[in-house]
Chains A and B, each alone.
Chain A
Amino acid sequence: MIWEVFRQEDAGEYHTHCGNVHAPDREMAKLFAQIQHGRRKPTNSLWVVPKDEIGEVDAEEAAFGGTTDKSYRWVMGYKDLDAAFAEEVAESESEQEDADRASAGGDD
């Protein structure tokens, strides 16, 4: 049977799919995965998962991200700023910082 293998480089990071191994059971899958997927790249941990146990939904079945225009999510409205507007933004930011500082000072 086929076991999908997921490798984690450092503690706390995601386990990322890196390939698979053929093995009769979990113990042998872990044994083989160490050599096949954990030996030549930095590895902190490996997961082995029976291929049959993985649920999949693909682009044929689902419209990932929906079908209507949601480009507002990308905040691309800011990409066409001209220089004058950039100055205005910078000024506004520094005013805001001054105000923050003043209010922080007031609290002391």
Chain B
Amino acid sequence: MAAESDRLGGPAELADDERAAVEALLYRLADDELVLAERYTEWQVRAPTLESDLALANIAQDELGHARLWYDLLRDFGYDEADLIFERDPADFRHASLAELPFEDGDWADAVVRSYLYDVAEQLRLEALADASYPRIADRVGKIQSEEAYHREHAQNWLERLADDEASLKRLQAAVDRLFPHALALWEPSDHEETIEDLGLRTESLAAMREQWFDTVIPFLRSLGLEPPEGVRENPEAVRPATIGRDGDHTDDWDALHEEMTRTYRELGREEAHKIMPDPDEADA
């Protein structure tokens, strides 16, 4: 447990640098969840079976719910939903490139591999937030963790079964080759990373979490007959793609996705997001 004296106050009590770091951390978390969920929904009515369709739609819904919990903490600082999503400059988003890549057309192996790489990372990230020095973040971790076990089980079960078939194994390997480098972006810093660590907003460094992630995903993929990119552990920088998303530099696919995600809002001439659910704090009360 972080000592009481190291605990930060509420949103209004933060110093400027503290607030900047809290915001930077929340944008990373929220944007990853929102953008990946948005991609997942492309499988709606297109997944291999009705059952797999519903399972992935359910996972997407969970991730949207998690995005909402993190964006809601940004609302503490005076931003509204339009500022955070619908009217935000796409270049201001801080999600990892893994989340924004389009799926290879009809390639379920892509969805399964992506979800596996992401959900193991999310587990580590949440564990490192459980004792965050900013109580508003720490308080929301448990709620998210309780939905994550299903995501990992789903991805692992699919991987094990697809790996059992020669043709599917090849597709999995192609997905690993393509997605593993972009998954490294999950562990890249965005803004104010040093302050995030110094303040104990997260209790593990990005580098340490990346090592833990390697410890889990590499042996598991190998046990299925899948090879991660050569030398990735020793020299991740050599494997990491040029465009990682975390710094606001995104692929062209992101602009197209953002355009589509916000189209209805613009077409309806909205100036604020339609509110259909109570504030998470009120829902908990």
Contacts and interface: CB of A to CB of B under 8 A. Distances in A.
Interface of A: 21-24, 27-28, 31-32, 34-36, 39
A24 B161 CA distance: 9
Given A28-B157, A28-B161, A39-B58, A21 B51 contact: yes
B2 interface: no
B118 to A, nearest CB: 18
B161 A36 contact: no
Given A24-B161, A27-B157, A39-B58, A32 B51 contact: yes
Contact of B55 (A24, A27, A35): A35
Nearest to B51: A32
Dominant secondary structure of chain B at its interface with chain A = helix
Contacts of A21: 51
A27 B154 CA distance: 10
B157 A31 contact: yes
Interface in B21-60: 49-52, 54-55, 58
B161 A22 contact: no
Contacts of B54: 32, 35-36
A34 B161 contact: no
A95 B49 CA distance: 69
B154 A31 contact: yes
Contacts of A39: 58
Contacts of B51: 21-23, 28, 32, 35-36
14 contacts: A22-B49, A23-B51, A27-B157, A28-B157, A28-B161, A31-B150, A31-B153, A31-B157, A32-B52, A32-B54, A32-B55, A35-B58, A36-B54, A39-B58
A37 to B, nearest CB: 10
Interface of B: 49-52, 54-55, 58, 150, 153-154, 157, 161
Contacts of B52: 32
A36 B52 CA distance: 10
A39 B51 CA distance: 13
Dominant secondary structure of chain A at its interface with chain B = helix
B50 A31 contact: no
A35 B58 CA distance: 7
A-B pairs with lowest CB-CB distance, top 6? A32-B51, A35-B58, A35-B55, A35-B54, A21-B51, A22-B51
A27 to B, nearest CB: 6
Nearest to A36: B54
A72 to B, nearest CB: 49
Contacts of B150: 31, 34
Contacts of B55: 31-32, 35
Contacts of B49: 22
B260 to A, nearest CB: 26
A32 B150 CA distance: 10
Nearest to B160: A27
Contacts of A32: 51-52, 54-55
B149 to A, nearest CB: 11
A34 B62 CA distance: 14
Contacts of A22: 49-51
A36 B49 CA distance: 13
